[in-house]
Amino acid sequence: MSALKLKLDQDQLVEDFFDCTHLVGIVSAARDYQLCWQLNKQLFYHFRVNNSLEIKLTKHQRAFYFTVFEFQEPTKSVSHYLYNNHCKAEFLLPELKNIDYLWLIKGDYYQLQDVKKLTEELRRVELVQLVSLLDLRDIKNKVNLIF
């Protein structure tokens, strides 16, 4: 009797996870909890740390843990995730070393114009230095964002 081997289709996993998503890069010298507090206060979001979504990457026989904050908009069926892109000297997305935080908007309620409006609002947040809308097609390590 031969053993059945199942292989995870990473391309399909990535495609499914990033369906109806937008990604915003944020540069800020603030700690993640300080930035979330400011976003909650100034933009009226309710980001909270979600330890069950924390992302663990292992490199050079060391484990790195990347914090993920979450906010659900149940009336719009939209989820917001704020990822910390740094952990010690490692990066969740190494191709974006100049970005400190990644804001992923998941759900089909937000259109591109809504996300552009959000980026304008983010630029006015005191602790935010730079905001840019990111093109998911340009990101090589998207799989690192999947929890």
Q: Are 78 and 110 in contact (CB under 8 A)?
A: yes
- Kindly state the percentage of the chain with pLDDT values over 70: 95
Q: Are 81 and 68 in contact (CB under 8 A)?
A: yes
pLDDT at 26 over 90: yes
41-70: per-residue pLDDT in tens? 999 999 999 999 999 999 888 999 999 999
For 108, 111, 112, 127, the CA distances from 115, given in Å and listed in that order, are 12, 6, 5, 19
131 φ/ψ sector (left φ>0, alpha ψ -120 to 50, else beta): beta
Q: Are 47 and 69 in contact (CB under 8 A)?
A: yes
Whole-angstrom distance, CA of residue 143 vs CA of residue 147: 9
Q: What is the mean pLDDT of residues 19-39?
A: 96
**pTM reported for the whole predicted model:** 0.88
Domain residues of the chain, as ranges? 32-145
pLDDT band at 6 (very low <50, low <70, confident <90, very high): low
67-83: per-residue pLDDT in tens? 999 999 988 999 999 99
